[in-house]
């Protein structure tokens, strides 16, 4: 990997991992609608709107591997999700195919499986149960990744990311927290490991109270350095200030599940 493209480079997750990737790849090409702050010596900015196929093709030219963080990162209107996450993701994979890009790491999300109950432990082989239009778009991105891997031989890694940050923010995040340096480890497995064909892994640190079986990531060498229990008291103190959410608290996706919810909670999800 000489030249790596990161989409969504002006976003929060990119801001946390860019400093940790400095020096790992000779060139990091950053794309977004607007320029990210503080370009490093090995970073270069290429503006690209993911809905503009020609702009995406220009950003992808000469690239060896892609970290696709771009798109809309929470729930949004159907048109927002359609443009940024469905059409945008298609444009990205299609540009990568045309340019002969070997590897893509796709930032999927826990919201692709948000309607599993918190009392369940699930692997990556379960049927998707999206909790939002956003979650549906992540399931779409995973399916697209499988198509480009199987049909075009691209090496694709989908990371079902929990919540990236310096620390877990509340009770739910104690189960799904992912530290920036653990995310970098997973991204590097996706970009570098020789055995990658098509993989789904959970983007989660080594949290004791996790809900996800991340065996495949461990097989591929993932050794998380962080764990949420080191921040447990702070997270529970923050949780105590939040309003109760009787629907969201049952499901892994939390508030993404309770938003717009009109069903019978006993029959929803799995």
Residue numbers at the binding site for ligand 15L (CB under 6 A): 73-74, 109-111, 163
Catalytic residue, chosen from 134, 148, 202, 222, is 134
Q: Which is nearer to ligand 15L, 131 or 199 (CB)?
A: 131
Q: Which is nearer to ligand 15L, 102 or 120 (CB)?
A: 120
Non-local CB neighbours of 218 within 8 Å, separated by 6+ positions? none
In whole angstroms, the minimum distance from the beta carbon of 84 to ligand 15L comes to 12
Q: Which is nearer to ligand 15L, 74 or 236 (CB)?
A: 74
Q: Residue 233 is inside which H or E element, if any? A: helix 232-240
Our answer to whether residue 134 is catalytic in this structure is yes
What are the CA-CA distances from residue 192 to residues 1, 9, 76, 77 (Å)? 7, 20, 33, 36
In whole angstroms, the minimum distance from the beta carbon of 70 to ligand 15L comes to 12
In whole angstroms, the minimum distance from the beta carbon of 74 to ligand 15L comes to 5
Phi, psi torsion values for 105, nearest 5 degrees: -105, 115
Q: Which is nearer to ligand 15L, 65 or 248 (CB)?
A: 248
Whole-angstrom distance, CA of residue 169 vs CA of residue 181:
17
Whole-angstrom distance, CA of residue 144 vs CA of residue 74:
20
Residue 71: left (phi > 0), alpha (psi -120 to 50), or beta? left
| The residue to which tokens 């992912």 are assigned | 178
In whole angstroms, the minimum distance from the beta carbon of 259 to ligand 15L comes to 11
Q: Which is nearer to ligand 15L, 110 or 124 (CB)?
A: 110
In whole angstroms, the minimum distance from the beta carbon of 175 to ligand 15L comes to 10
What are the CA-CA distances from residue 261 to residues 120, 131, 188, 248 (Å)? 21, 10, 37, 10
Non-local CB neighbours of 148 within 8 Å, separated by 6+ positions? 93, 96, 97, 104, 154, 156
Q: Which residues are catalytic?
A: 134
């Amino acid at each position: 990997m000489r030249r790596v493209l990161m989409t969504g480079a002006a976003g929060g997750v990119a801001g946390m991992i860019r400093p940790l990737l400095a020096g790992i790849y000779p060139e990091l090409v950053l794309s977004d609608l607007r320029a990210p702050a503080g370009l490093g010596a090995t970073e270069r900015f290429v503006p690209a709107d993911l809905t503009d196929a020609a702009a995406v093709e220009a950003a992808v030219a000469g690239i060896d591997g892609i970290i696709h963080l771009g798109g809309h990162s929470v729930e949004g209107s159907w048109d927002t999700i359609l443009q940024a996450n469905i059409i945008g993701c298609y444009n990205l994979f299609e540009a990568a195919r045309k340019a002969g890009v070997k590897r893509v790491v796709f930032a999927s999300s826990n919201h692709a499986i948000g309607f599993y109950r918190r009392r369940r432990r699930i692997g990556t082989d379960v049927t998707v149960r999206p909790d939002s239009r956003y979650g549906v778009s992540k399931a779409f991105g995973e399916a697209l990744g499988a198509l480009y891997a199987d049909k075009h031989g691209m090496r694709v890694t989908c990371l079902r990311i929990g919540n990236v940050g310096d620390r877990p923010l509340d009770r739910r995040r104690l189960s799904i927290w992912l530290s920036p340096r653990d995310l970098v480890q997973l991204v590097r497995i996706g970009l570098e490991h020789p055995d990658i064909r098509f993989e789904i892994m959970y983007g989660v640190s080594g949290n004791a109270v996790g809900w996800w079986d991340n065996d495949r990531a461990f097989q591929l060498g993932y050794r998380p350095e962080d764990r949420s229990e080191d921040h447990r008291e702070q997270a529970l103190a923050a949780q105590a200030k939040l309003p109760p959410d009787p629907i969201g608290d049952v499901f892994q996706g939390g508030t993404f599940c309770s938003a717009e919810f009109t069903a019978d909670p006993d029959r929803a999800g799995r």
